[in-house]
Amino acid sequence: MTKLLEIENLSVEFDGFKAVDGVNLSVDEGKVVGIVGESGSGKSVTQLALMGLIPYPGIIKADRLMFHNSDLMALSAKKRRSITGKDVSMIFQEPMTSLNPCFTVEYQISEALKIHEGGTRQERRKRVIELLSQVGIPAPEDRLGTFPHQLSGGMSQRVMIAMAIACSPRLLIADEPTTALDVTIQAQILELIMDLQQKKNMALVLITHDMAVIAETVEDVVVMYAGQVVEKNSSDRIFTNPCHPYTEALLNALPERNINSKRLPTIPGLVPGKFDRPDGCLFHPRCKHAKKMCKEVVPKYSEKNSIGVRCHFPLINGVPQYD
């Protein structure tokens, strides 16, 4: 498969604190990749850095940040904007706050078409109606003059998806696209995104904290913790034989794995922030397999046979390899 996106050693720093540290990620044409981890693990910041949406005073560094044949770090702001929004687009977490309350649905979708594809106003209006129909909005002609506050959460998210796919992107980033929605609408939105991905053969990066969504939708999984990639694996292997203790702990907390338990197991503690980062492995205070070395030495990320792991003692069939 052709590599569409290649990220090597990406870091995002805010006032001396690395919110993202040494991230490697690659996405092939037409492939679905999931990024999973708790809140504060750096999932969204990684993708915002790719989109060029990190605000000042954030500092982005990378050894390699390639989309198709373009080095995004070397492009001018204008040239980069011609790629992001057209060839790379993003569905954001909160549709109610991502849509501009001052402009109609037609204006907000049409704006992307006007910037990237041009055409007459009538041509753009026809395309907006087609897009609204594609994302399952009934009577799309009647929604053109609607303002965001007149839409439900599910309808707002569908409008966001229509905006994201307006210019037929080659890579779509969906950042927890169902977080603000109720359960029945969540399933509909996920089904819509996956259906569009298959019909248009887009590459898709799906950011979520929901392992059940990962199991149902993606091919490869990237697990992030405290701004670092701690494991990269296929979806099948992640669920049958996780290599990192953090991945194991996330899976052990799934309700479907604890049907006969009175209490769900949890991961003690919190993801470390700027002022409470431990020495050694960042996960060791919460890891049941941690040894003295884990508390003192920072583990390196290593990759072999398409499996990547950042751990001194990676797991094989649930057993840490201390030798």
Sheet strands (E) in the chain: 3-14, 17-28, 32-36, 59-61, 64-67, 70-71, 88-91, 171-175, 203-208, 220-225, 228-234, 301-304, 307-310, 315-316, 319-320
pLDDT at 63: 93
pLDDT at 24: 93
Q: Tokens 């990024």 map to which residue? A: 35
pLDDT at 239: 92
Distance CA 167, CA 116 (A): 7
Closest Cα partner for 23 from 3, 48, 1?
Answer: 48
pLDDT at 281: 96
pLDDT at 77: 84
φ and ψ at residue 32, rounded to 5 degrees: -110, 120
Q: Is 206 exposed, middle or buried (0-12, 13-18, 19+ CB in 10 A)?
A: buried
pLDDT at 323: 66
Closest Cα partner for 234 from 213, 207, 215?
Answer: 215
pLDDT at 321: 85
**DSSP letter string over 71-109?**
ETTTS-HHHHHHHBTTTEEEE-S-HHHHS-TTS-HHHHH
pLDDT at 186: 83
pLDDT at 75: 87
Domain ranges of the chain: 97-166, 245-320
- pLDDT of the chain along its 323 residues, tens only? 688 999 999 999 999 899 999 999 999 999 999 999 998 899 999 999 999 899 888 999 999 999 988 899 888 888 888 888 889 999 988 777 788 999 999 999 998 888 888 888 899 999 999 999 989 899 999 999 999 999 988 889 899 999 998 888 999 999 988 876 778 888 888 888 999 899 989 999 999 888 888 888 899 999 999 999 999 999 999 999 999 999 999 998 888 877 787 888 889 999 998 889 999 999 999 999 999 999 999 999 998 888 999 999 999 988 888 76
26: which DSSP letter? E
Tokens linked to 242? 């996780």
Q: Is 73 exposed, middle or buried (0-12, 13-18, 19+ CB in 10 A)?
A: middle
Tokens linked to 33? 């990749």
Q: Tokens 């909160």 map to which residue? A: 94
φ and ψ at residue 35, rounded to 5 degrees: -115, 125
Q: Tell me how crowded residue 41 is: count the other CB atoms within 10 A of its CB.
A: 24
